[in-house]
Structure 1
Amino acid sequence: MLNKFGFLKDYHSFSKMIKVRIVLLFISVLFNAMVMPYVVVYFVERVGINIASLMVLGVGIAGILGSLLGGKLGDKYGRKKMIIFGEIGNGIGFFLACFSSVFTEMLITIIFISFLLIYFFSGLSGPAYSAFIIDETTNKNRKSVYVVMLWVSNLSFALGSILGGFLFKQYSSLLFFLVGCSSILSCICIAILVQDHFIKRKVESNNLRVKNQIKANSNKLKVYQHMLKAPIFQFLVMLTLILSLMNNQLPYYLSVHYVNIFETEGYTILGFLRSENTLMIFFLTFVITNLLKKVYEIKSLLFGVLLFFIGYIALSMGEIPSILYMAMAIMSIGQIIYSPVIQTISADVIPDEHRSTYLSILDVIGHIGGLCAFLFVPLMQYIQPFKISIIYGVFGFISLIIIYRIQQNRKEEKISIPSVS
């Protein structure tokens, strides 16, 4: 029955490395979801909301620094080395968190240091993982890979969150240990089963044009300077920032907003909304993407982003649970539509030899969007809810203009950003 969906038929065209990545993604997200959604609460319970906010900011900055460094090194030394290095560091961070209970007097300090390591090394391997997916896919099957990964990650996140909700309070140390083990498992599987085709192509390319090769590495800022001259990438950065900011509204501003409106019932409503989002992505991803498979990608992106913002505006304005559930359904459908499309477009326009660097910038912008979303929590003391809805609407309008400009620039630049070299 599932083979009726074109995206699942395309699974047979995926390379062995992509299939390995999908399995490891499921395992990694499953174990991380048992821990990560509860980390902020973990900090707040021990040090209070003010210090916890500074800690969240600190680990966010660590993730940004890791992404910037990982992007540059991924293009220089290859994806495989950076992924292995990142997974080892990630595992060490979680093992440190696991055994931190031994140091009772310095517990929170050790935990904070461990999460600095975790976010830094996760950021370090993130761009390499993203570039690896592009390296191992073709224009024909790339969107299908992103659709399958969206579905798998949401399924494993749902399972992990449920298990973490029952286990984290009493068995947090055990869960930290299991997440560390999953990182080491990923490291071993990547080392044994994955070949870095990026390095292979790079060596072959260098052999063909040794004399004509421009020494781009002599100026480490050259790639970043080139980015600033590529309008289409600038538009992708702006769109990524806005969408990341909006995607983090539910765990930050809207969570506090609903508790203020519904009091204790607000927590229950939040749980149902998150479950609804996960279930819709799980059951409808292949149906919706298959229906829109032949629709021009920019039209899909426009439609998906439009639904996404309509849903979020309704989520910010609704004060009746049934309205909120309808709004979440609209937002989720928009999310399903736009997510694989924007990833595909990003992959198409980024230069092959600098994929990891470009993707690290998008990853950093995603982190910054999350940090900006957190600022809506203190701002709600000064801005009325209907004004927040207006801000959402302005962001949506800007996003649609950006998508239109992306399409115009793709025509002018003939799809890809010119290579630095």
Structure 2
Amino acid sequence: MKFNDLHPNIKIRIMTEFFTDITQMAILPFMAIYFSSYVGAGLAGILLMINILLSIMVGLYSGFLADRIGRKKMLISAQAIQIFALLVMTVVNSPWLTSVWITYAMFIVSNISSSLIGPAASAMIIDVSTEKERPYIYGLGYWTGNIAIALGALLGGLFFEKYKMMLFVMFLFVSIVTLFIIIFFIKETFTFTRDKSETKPSIKTGLIRNYLNVLNDRGFMLFIVATICIMSLEFQLDKYVAVRLKEQFEAELFTFTITGVNMFSIIMLINTITIVFATLQLSKWLGQFNAKKVLTIGLLIYSISFTSFAYSNSFSLLILAAFFFTFGELMYSPIRQTILASIVNEQRRASYMAVDNLAYHVATLIGSIGLSLGALLPSEGMALLYLGLGLCGLVCYRIALSMKEEKEVRVDTQKESVL
């Protein structure tokens, strides 16, 4: 499999998302600091929580809409909204004008735009890819995404404080170019067809009916529960794990003292470097093995590594855990995306992807709760909790996969009986 063999839509999305992620990550992670400096940490936290809730609601509506009007129209509309929001944010963060409240309003609009884009873009990739291509596509997307995040965070760390307007201009420029590319080079991949005997429901009724059908898909919902369990572990890394290391860890290496903050930085550095240099090679090698077994082994490695992060104060063990945690992540993440693409309903792909996006928001909230739990439970207790979450996620994934396999067998049997 080569990049040039992919559908043009997929190649365009991978390239545009790479530059979008760079400029986005140079701004978004630093907005909490920005708002805190103007309105205080307490109010800033509430404002960001409101933003998350709005993004969840818009994301669900976006999935429903993308399954009705098509992927391209959603992408064009959302990208135009993004450009408007960034243009205003650039103006109100210039040397001539500063307004934190207009910035916040446009920050919400910008995040709404991203929520509108997500399900449509994810569904479009499934529309034009085959099951054989998807491990490569998701592995490549995972690799480029992590490089973009690292580059964006570096740019933000260097320039956000003094040159935030320049970063907004960069993001605006990338968004304008992306809109141009979508309009002239992206092809529509989905056309909604309604049964002629079916009456057209209201938007509210159609939305509710649509997501009730998704929620009734037991295999998919088990998959979502598994995703929440596993992703809530990942969101612990920069919360409970970072705080615990800061408070409990200190080690001597030769003549250097390594603090908990230093140790956390080392873990993140190992994670980033390993992803950059090992993702494509590992994905290609793992492609020859059974996906279910790769997923199982990857999640076991991932979960056990996190238990080490929760309680260990050994420098060497934490270094090993950082490598194994990354390899576990590289094993399960692209496979998870590939399996997800194969279990969603063909006529509701964007809606299914919207629910999958919702799982990430729920996992984020659980990650925040984990920080509070860490103040009540000893590190050994948190380690057991992490192991439990990992095993729960693994079991749910395996059951969901078994249900998918049983369904495929039933469909094949029915086809044979018809013939």
Q: What TM-score comes out, normalization by structure 1 length? A: 0.89
Q: 1:228 to 1:66 in 2, by over 3 A?
A: closer
What is the CA distance between 1:171 and its match in structure 2? 0.8
Distance 1:122 1:306 in 2: 32
Give the % identical residues: 24
What is the CA distance between 1:106 and its match in structure 2? 7.5
Question: What SS does the aligned partner of 2:391 have?
Answer: helix
What is the CA distance between 1:347 and its match in structure 2? 0.8
Distance 1:338 1:217 in 2: 40
What is the CA distance between 1:184 and its match in structure 2? 2.1
Larger CA deviation: 63-72 vs 368-377: 368-377
Distance 1:16 1:105 in 2: 42
Q: 1:386 to 1:67 in 2, by over 3 A?
A: same
What is the CA distance between 1:60 and its match in structure 2? 1.0
How big is each residue's C-alpha offset from its partner over 1:262-313, in whole Å with a ceiling of 9 and x where there is no partner?
4893333333322221111111112222221121111111111111111211
What is the CA distance between 1:217 and its match in structure 2? 4.8
Question: 2:219 touches 2:403 (CA, 8 Å); kept in 1?
Answer: yes
Distance 1:40 1:191 in 2: 33
The reply to whether residue 227 of structure 1 matches residue 214 of structure 2 is yes
User: Which residue number corresponds to residue 242 of structure 1?
Assistant: 229
Q: Which runs of 5+ in 1 are unaligned?
A: 1-8
Q: 1:96 to 1:161 in 2, by over 3 A?
A: same
How big is each residue's C-alpha offset from its partner over 1:227-253, in whole Å with a ceiling of 9 and x where there is no partner?
232211111110121122112112222
Q: In the alignment, residue 320 of structure 2 is paired with which amino acid?
A: M
| Equivalent runs, 1:97-176 vs 2, <5 Å | 97-101=89-93, 107-176=99-168
The reply to whether residue 96 of structure 1 matches residue 88 of structure 2 is yes
User: Which residue number corresponds to residue 68 of structure 2?
Assistant: 76
Distance 2:59 2:302 in 1: 27
What is the CA distance between 1:318 and its match in structure 2? 2.1
Distance 1:373 1:165 in 2: 24
Distance 1:257 1:55 in 2: 27
Question: What SS does the aligned partner of 1:176 have?
Answer: helix
Distance 2:316 2:262 in 1: 13
Larger CA deviation: 255-264 vs 27-36: 255-264
Q: In the alignment, residue 373 of structure 1 is paired with which amino acid?
A: G
User: Which residue number corresponds to residue 270 of structure 1?
Assistant: 264
The reply to whether residue 17 of structure 1 matches residue 4 of structure 2 is no
| Equivalent runs, 1:274-289 vs 2, <5 Å | 274-289=268-283
Q: In the alignment, residue 394 of structure 2 is paired with which amino acid?
A: L
Distance 1:148 1:180 in 2: 25
Distance 1:260 1:180 in 2: 40
Larger CA deviation: 366-375 vs 253-262: 253-262
Q: In structure 2, which of residues 54, 57, 60 is the aligned counterpart of residue 65 of structure 1?
A: 57
Q: Which runs of 5+ in 2 are unaligned?
A: 251-257, 412-419
Distance 2:201 2:384 in 1: 45
What is the CA distance between 1:255 and its match in structure 2? 2.2
How big is each residue's C-alpha offset from its partner over 1:311-335, in whole Å with a ceiling of 9 and x where there is no partner?
2111112223433222111111111
User: Which residue number corresponds to residue 322 of structure 1?
Assistant: 316
| Equivalent runs, 1:204-215 vs 2, <5 Å | 211=196, 214-215=198-199
Q: In the alignment, residue 337 of structure 1 is paired with which amino acid?
A: M
Q: In the alignment, residue 179 of structure 2 is paired with which amino acid?
A: C
How big is each residue's C-alpha offset from its partner over 1:144-174, in whole Å with a ceiling of 9 and x where there is no partner?
1111111111112222222221111111122
Question: 2:233 touches 2:390 (CA, 8 Å); kept in 1?
Answer: no
Number of equivalent positions: 401
Question: What SS does the aligned partner of 1:198 have?
Answer: coil
What is the CA distance between 1:90 and its match in structure 2? 2.2
Question: 1:65 touches 1:120 (CA, 8 Å); kept in 2?
Answer: no
User: Which residue number corresponds to residue 393 of structure 2?
Assistant: 399
Larger CA deviation: 319-328 vs 120-129: 319-328
Question: What SS does the aligned partner of 1:404 have?
Answer: helix
Q: In the alignment, residue 375 of structure 1 is paired with which amino acid?
A: I
Q: In structure 2, which of residues 381, 384, 400 is the aligned counterpart of residue 387 of structure 1?
A: 381
Larger CA deviation: 96-105 vs 58-67: 96-105
How big is each residue's C-alpha offset from its partner over 1:192-217, in whole Å with a ceiling of 9 and x where there is no partner?
10010212xx4xx66xxx64x64575
Q: In structure 2, which of residues 343, 349, 362 is the aligned counterpart of residue 368 of structure 1?
A: 362
What is the CA distance between 1:102 and its match in structure 2? 5.9
How big is each residue's C-alpha offset from its partner over 1:104-149, in whole Å with a ceiling of 9 and x where there is no partner?
9973322322221122111111100100110121122122111111
User: Which residue number corresponds to residue 407 of structure 2?
Assistant: 413
Q: In the alignment, residue 116 of structure 1 is paired with which amino acid?
A: I
Question: 1:34 touches 1:168 (CA, 8 Å); kept in 2?
Answer: yes
Q: In the alignment, residue 253 of structure 1 is paired with which amino acid?
A: Y
Distance 2:383 2:200 in 1: 46
Q: In the alignment, residue 371 of structure 1 is paired with which amino acid?
A: L
Q: In structure 2, which of residues 41, 44, 48 is the aligned counterpart of residue 56 of structure 1?
A: 48
Distance 1:97 1:181 in 2: 13
